[in-house]
Amino acid sequence: MGSVTTSKHANGLEYVDINTPLCKARVFMQGAQIDYFEPVGQKPLLWVSSADDYQPGNGIRGGIPVCWPWFGMSDNPDFPQHGFARTRIWSLESVKMRNQIVDLKFTLKISEEDKQYWPHDTSVELLFTLSDTLSVSLVNTNNCDYEVSLTQALHTYFPINDIHQLTASGFSGAKYIEFAKGPFPQEGDSVDFTRETDRVYTNLGECQELHTPDGIIEVRRENSQSAVLWNPWIEKSQRLSRFNSDDYLTMVCLEAANVLEDKVTLAPNESHTLTTHIRWKA
């Protein structure tokens, strides 16, 4: 059947270990951040920097950090980049096993201190469905009697073996903003990597693929018309925290998002679910 157990990392962070006939995975309570997912008989689908030492208070440099309730910089420059959810301790509300599939549900209670960042009465959940595919859903519900808007991303780090041999496809018809310029129309369907890439795509179709020497990773999104494609390349790698200077060679981020004109606006009592599905296609 499989097992779901909780343990503590040497540096103090608590995590959930999932071990089933379909996959092995690990999810930390801090940030409800998954840092490991390996479908049985296949290679791991998530990348983590070997420079990360899993210190409490730091988001892990890899896996899937949750950017919430804003992506990138807030309008207030003193607020943390990518929101605060990725460094807060989430609660594991439920664990369900059906056949060989595991469902986990995490919730984040907004602390009094964090109300300076997010004074709205909303609820936020992160759901994992772990089989030979990884599905992650970020669910927001507005409990206020007024409209609330937010931006967000599931900031997935993928292992890609060699950035020079990576082709990302599925981008035709989209447009992107990069380094505060644009929007530019996407030319062709695919993107190759020869320099720093930091594109915020909108009007994007629901499925992209990462063609790597190890196989094709398929990335699907639901309730999302936007995504971020990021590789820091040589110079920015020197400046990033918990990141080796040559890490840019073996990772890429393709982030399921709701940003720019695709931001989420919730009427009172309304909910929204951003989902990403990740698997080895071949």
Contact positions vs ligand BG6 (CB under 6 A)? 81-82, 155, 198, 228, 230, 240, 253, 255
The nearer residue to ligand BG6, 178 or 206, going by C-beta atoms, is 178
- Kindly state the smallest distance separating residue 48's Cβ from ligand BG6, in Å: 13
Q: Determine the residue type at 264.
A: V
- Kindly state the smallest distance separating residue 253's Cβ from ligand BG6, in Å: 6
The nearer residue to ligand BG6, 105 or 242, going by C-beta atoms, is 242
The nearer residue to ligand BG6, 124 or 228, going by C-beta atoms, is 228
- Kindly state the smallest distance separating residue 80's Cβ from ligand BG6, in Å: 8
The nearer residue to ligand BG6, 199 or 220, going by C-beta atoms, is 199
> CB neighbours (10 Å) of residue 171?
21
> Which tokens belong to 264?
């989420």
The nearer residue to ligand BG6, 16 or 253, going by C-beta atoms, is 253
- Kindly state the smallest distance separating residue 225's Cβ from ligand BG6, in Å: 17
Surface-to-core class of residue 164, CB atoms within 10 Å of its CB (0-12 exposed, 13-18 middle, 19+ buried): exposed
- Kindly state the smallest distance separating residue 24's Cβ from ligand BG6, in Å: 25
Q: DSSP string covering 124-171, please?
A: EEEEEEESSSEEEEEEEEE-SSS-EEE-EEE--EEE-S-GGG-EEE--
- Kindly state the smallest distance separating residue 57's Cβ from ligand BG6, in Å: 14
The nearer residue to ligand BG6, 82 or 88, going by C-beta atoms, is 82
